[in-house]
Structure 1
Amino acid sequence: MLIFTKSLFTLKKENPNKENLPDNFSPAVLKKIQQARKNQPNTEELITNILSGDIGALSRAITLIESNNPNHFTEANAIIKACLPHANNSVRIGITGVPGVGKSTFIEAFGKHLTKLGKKIAVLTIDPSSSLSHGSILGDKTRMEELAKDPNAYVRPSASGDTVGGVARKTRETITLCEACGFDTVIIETVGVGQNEIAVHSMVDFFLLLNVTGTGDELQGIKKGIMEMADAIVINKADGDNIQKAVLAKAEMNNALHLFPAKKSGWIPVTLTCSSKTLEGINEVWETISNYIERTQNNTFFESKRAEQNEFWLMETIENQLKQDFFNNSEVQILLEKTKKAVQNNEYSPFAAAQLLVEKYFNTKT
């Protein structure tokens, strides 16, 4: 079943006459959803339940921090603040790759391997949002059906929204909540490889790039910046008649990696092959990550990198909150609609209109 970003409750609220609702819409279902929302636990209960490992409470809290409703900001910030002392105790792994490389299949196989080792894993998947409808089809739980049923795994799809960099706007805070809930391994699956597909690198300990053979030049479509950041490159779908091609692709990638400057971590990136179908090579991927974590913890790079990441997300959060406050300002919203028309009619330049809006915003703050 496909999951859409707008719930029946939201649709009903926006369409009181049931316009645009599904043909099989059930008033009984709507009533059940409304009643469930009325019975939402308060902030203190959510915090207590998250710290005790309650997945339901975790999901509710993530929904709160992803909300654009200004009324939810205070509650979301209180939850994050309470969870922060219980966070920072996981291994964070970012996974990216070109479309069709098999990220979801790989993550399911990799995740099941980790849970068999006794790990508790949280998988945060980012689904691209339409630039037209602004909606997302959050189908990762369907694609990772077996992993989603694993009691030691948690799969949470989120929409990318208007955020560039391959992650959702609140992914960093979501990591904090997952760690506080007891997950010792957090995997972030990004939208896909692109020039802006780098934000995930600033919130993970290990950055893994998936690639696949059979696309002509094995380096085609892979941005140099992505390869420079990768701590390991995994050639996926190395099974059947594709094994030899995977070996050749591995050699090509190794040659390419030698052209990049040495990493501050002292780690030399490696190239591996694996099959999500036969599970061949999956354990080697985990061993590589474990070796990286051990080495960077011993040379203090692990801690220094996380400190730099915290500083980076401080600045990012300031920018995001200022932007949000700007567009939520009622006087700015009114003026914005007027200036849009003026810009479209060439009565104002975009730059003059922007300056006018910014001045209006600061005047409302004085």
Structure 2
Amino acid sequence: MSWQDDAGRDLVRSFGDRMAMFVRGEGAYVWDADGKRYLDFLAGIAVNSLGHAHPAFVEAITRQASTLSHVSNYFATPPQLELASRLKRLAGTGPDGRVYFGNSGAEANEAAFKLARLHGGPGRPRILSLKDAFHGRTMGTLALTGKPWMQEPFLPMVGGVEFIDTTIEALDAALDDGVAALFLEPIKGEAGVIDLPEGYLRAARELTERHGALLIVDEIQTGAGRTGEWFAFQHAGITPDAITVAKGIGGGFPIGALITFGAAGDLFYPGTHGSTFGGNPLGTAVAGAVLAEIERGGLVDNAAERGTQLREAIVRLDSTLVSGCRGQGLLIGVALRHPVAKAVVAAALEHGLVINAPNDDTIRLVPALTIGDVEIDEFLQLFAAALHTVEDALVLDAPSEVSA
């Protein structure tokens, strides 16, 4: 029996076949069960901000696990309060900001959904979300996710959510005084790393304020310095009513949070929401250490600098497949001229490179924020080799008059 047999027998099929069996990691690298080394430019889908087995991450887990790992939310702990204060400072909430802790991005968005309901009440039943958005796979967050093919097996959805085109004109037409909240991603990661139109966030802030709706920004993939700011909304110079975060704030430990600004923080009252494990001392201690290391190491600036370096180098590759790059910082979408992204991912894995295809014509790159010249140079060699492998296959499969 192989590990593939074990996985096929024992794990639910919702993820499909696993691509490899990884047994350890260090920095920007992982090793499989056969000892093969891979350069990891997926980082657990934007989770491993510091890479693998970073000393700050390991030390925080070890130290906190030896003292206090969990108490209920009937009690406070120092790591919980310290992390809440740090997140408020980094997000720029001011003293009125508040933080709710959960265990994942989906849980953070579930809390935000309930925040929107509390704000809207019976008089504001409508919630707006963007077409092709992704906010999670739980029943609440799936209702916010603008992908009909994902919703279809689980209909009917939670009611009240409307999906609009990602244009300022569509937003202006849809927003009125009956809207409780607008949910959006600053960059649509699962849609293929799609940037919002120029000026969209500023227009969204102006229109939601005009109509008394909450602006809720999903920073689960874009937060924790990923785009070259602590949070992507900060590029636009706006202040939302709430943001949701997860992934990179824990550096590999499961944790999520809803961060509110201003009056939105007063909407929850005792009994309206909760989580057994959310905000426990182990998770908050690790997240606090990860964010402290990002800050100490200047990794937000590194994400901005290395992201520009990568995008410029990728478009200069000798490849007929690459048509351009999207995204900000170290959230990069490589646009392909043909729908062969999955083939490129498979070829990259063969060459020792871990990347991802969110759709058929986009490669997503979300490496650790710690990468430098060495990792980028190796990535460019491996990625070029994977692209050439697929290009050669396209030529072999083409009609003779095309390949001649």
* TM-score, normalised via structure 2 length: 0.27
Which has more strand, going by share of residues?
Answer: 2
Greater RCO structure (CA 8 Å; 6+ sep): 2
Higher helix fraction (1 or 2): 1
